[in-house]
Amino acid sequence: MTQTDYDLVIIGAGPAGLTAGIYAARARMNVLLLEKTVPGGQILVTDWIENYPGFPEGISGYDLAEKMKIQAEELGLKIETAEVHSLNLSGQSKQIVLKDRSITAKSLIIASGASPRNLGIGEDKFMGKGVSFCATCDAPFFKEKTVVAVGGGDTAVQEAIFLTKFAKKVYLVHRRDELRAAKILQERAFANDKIEFVWDSVATGMEGFFGLEGVKVKNLKTKEERTLKADGCFIWIGILPNTSFLNNAVETDEFGFIRADATMQTSVPGVFAAGDVRDTPLRQISTAVGDAAIAAVCAEHFIENL
């Protein structure tokens, strides 16, 4: 095979990427982990994690990410801050194009994760001026203020509950008449007298001059429109895969998530996917870690069989 820079390159340093790096480093592979921001991924902005095995009292997202990073680095994993611009997977050697250079690898694991979806109602105007996607980051700015939370899944409900530690009132706007979140989270939300549910409704606009002052909502059944006076708006309506660099290099589903088989291999031999970027029915830390373990071991087997 053509000489390559690395046995394995991993893109993304969330729980999936760090786990893959731990397995690859323990296997004594020549491996490089690329992360465009800081290691940890979305769990860095998760206040408290209660469903990850081994932490019965729970653990903060930051602390869990830091433990994963330290473990990986102590095993010898090299983590580099760099953004991947494109991939060339046409040959046996996988080419990863960065801003200042290109590197090659025998195998590749894509663990680039996903990002929050926008409402598309002008929230860009109020980013940093009332609009946020991260309660853990920004909730303290809204102490004793009124905020709007948009969404009905696990993240939306969990973060809305967290917001009540600071805000005096939280409107939770959901387009249906029941939540999609886990029952235990629903029970906690319904029992929290700081949360007011705005059912069958969607956010349609934002008001404010220097900063956010209100969120327009529309009831989908009655067509009634009103403005919820609020100092902040937190948005949790789903995620989009971080796959803009792929340029159709591997097969994806209609939403852009990477298709992979039971071994985490994509449509390109030797290229694997793990974590939130993958087409999967569940996106949790535990599933990302499981994906990554399979991907790393299968990447090792792929390289051995070259």
Active site residues: 134, 137-138
6-115+239-304 and 118-235: identical CATH topology: yes
Instruction: Please write the tens of the pLDDT for every residue from 255-305.
Output: 999 999 999 999 999 999 999 999 998 888 999 999 999 999 999 999 999
Q: What pLDDT was estimated at residue 183?
A: 96
| Protein fold of 118-235 | FAD/NAD(P)-binding domain (3.50.50)
Which residues, 6 or more positions from 40, have their beta carbon under 8 angstroms from its beta carbon? 13, 14, 61, 62, 65, 66, 68, 69
Q: What pLDDT was estimated at residue 281?
A: 87
Q: What pLDDT was estimated at residue 276?
A: 95
Neighbouring CB atoms inside 10 A of 29's CB total: 21
- With beta carbons less than 8 A apart as the criterion, state whether 202 and 218 touch: yes
Q: What pLDDT was estimated at residue 135?
A: 86
Which residues, 6 or more positions from 210, have their beta carbon under 8 angstroms from its beta carbon? 129
Which stretches of the chain are assigned E, i.e. beta strand? 6-11, 31-35, 78-81, 84-88, 94-98, 102-110, 114-116, 131-132, 146-150, 169-173, 195-198, 201-208, 212-219, 225-229, 232-235, 239-241, 271-273
Q: What pLDDT was estimated at residue 55?
A: 94
- With beta carbons less than 8 A apart as the criterion, state whether 19 and 287 touch: no
Q: What pLDDT was estimated at residue 285?
A: 93
| Protein fold of 6-115+239-304 | FAD/NAD(P)-binding domain (3.50.50)
Where the chain has pLDDT below 50, the residues are none
Neighbouring CB atoms inside 10 A of 42's CB total: 23
Q: What pLDDT was estimated at residue 43?
A: 87
The residues spanned by each domain of the chain are 6-115+239-304, 118-235
14: helix, coil or strand? coil
